[in-house]
Amino acid sequence: KHGVVVTAYQDDATGVMHLNRDGSGQFESVTLHPRVTVADAAHVELAEQLHREANAVCFIARSVNFPVLHSPVT
C-alpha cells in the first residue's frame, strides 16, 4: 500500500499477566517489539511512521480485550 518492502521481520513480544486467587488469569497488556528490515533504506522513516499508526489496524489488537502496544526496535 505504501511501497515499503519488508525483507525481514522479528518480534520479541512481552506480556503482563494478572493471576487471580483461584489460579486463573488473563493478560493485562501485550507489547510488540518488531524489528523490521526494509529493502530500501530511504523507506526507514516511512516504516517507522507506519509502526506508530499500526495499532489502529493491528489484527492482534483488534482481536483481544486488552491493550496491545507497539514499540519498534530501531
Is the distance from CB of 13 to CB of 30 less than 8 angstroms?
Answer: yes
CATH number assigned to the domain covering 6-70? 3.30.300.20
* Residue 4 DSSP class: P
Per-residue pLDDT of the chain (74 residues), as tens digits, is 889 999 999 999 999 999 999 999 999 999 988 899 999 999 999 998 888 888 788 888 888 888 888 888 87
Those residues with Cβ within 8 angstroms of residue 52's Cβ, 6 or more apart along the chain or in another chain = 70
Query: For residue 4, what pLDDT is reported?
Result: 93
| Domain residue limits, the chain | 6-70
Q: How far is CA 52 from CA 34, 46, 72, in A?
A: 12, 10, 8
Query: For residue 38, what pLDDT is reported?
Result: 94
Query: For residue 56, what pLDDT is reported?
Result: 81
| Of 43, 14, 40, 7, the residue nearest 28 (C-alpha) | 14
Query: What is this structure's pTM?
Result: 0.68
